[in-house]
Structure 1
């Protein structure tokens, strides 16, 4: 992945976090991400640093959602083929 793509993905992930916080009113604690002292506008940082920031922030967002929301996932069998399963979230 090119550095420009990583920067774009990093910016999108930060926007996802902000949007989630705005919509739900919940604050996502991103202590590990904040400890990296990097943001998408730090274009002088290398690709590895941005990749680590993306993975860290993504992990903290997922951990927050898992800890605060227990989605009910139900698997339904397709009537035509018993081997295919579809996951639906309620």
Structure 2
């Protein structure tokens, strides 16, 4: 499910759709609990490859980090 969220976040930030034809052709999603572990692993690796391939094929904007604009508060999960 994390990879799906990463894909959606990337698409929301860049306004670009990530093509996931190979992933979609596997017909498996994180909610298909009846599928075996290997099928989920193959789907995860396929989706990850499609996301990375898309990102490598597009130039990303440079994001400059400034400590002055950073928040002093940090959220932590326990």
Normalised by the shorter chain, which TM-score bucket? 0.7 to 0.9
Aligned twin of 1:52: 42
Q: Using CA pairs below 8 Å that are at least 6 residues apart, which structure has the higher relative contact order? A: 2
Alpha-carbon distance between aligned partners in 2 of 1:35 and 1:41, rounded to the nearest angstrom: 16
After TM superposition, list the pairs within 5 Å mapping 1:9-28 onto structure 2: 11-28=1-18
What SS is found at the alignment partner of 1:68? coil
Q: 1 or 2, which has the higher helix percentage?
A: 1
**Which protein is richer in strand relative to its size?**
1
- Unpaired stretches in structure 2, ≥5 consecutive residues: 63-78
Indicate the structure (1 or 2) with the bigger Cα radius of gyration.
1
- Residue deviations 1:29-78, cap 9 Å, x none? 00000000010000110000000000000000000000012689xxxxxx
Instruction: Work out the number of aligned pairs and report it.
Output: 62
Q: Partner of 2:51 in structure 1?
A: 61
| TM-score, reference length from structure 2 | 0.74
For 1:45 and 1:71, locate their aligned partners in 2 and report how far apart those are by CA, in whole Å.
38
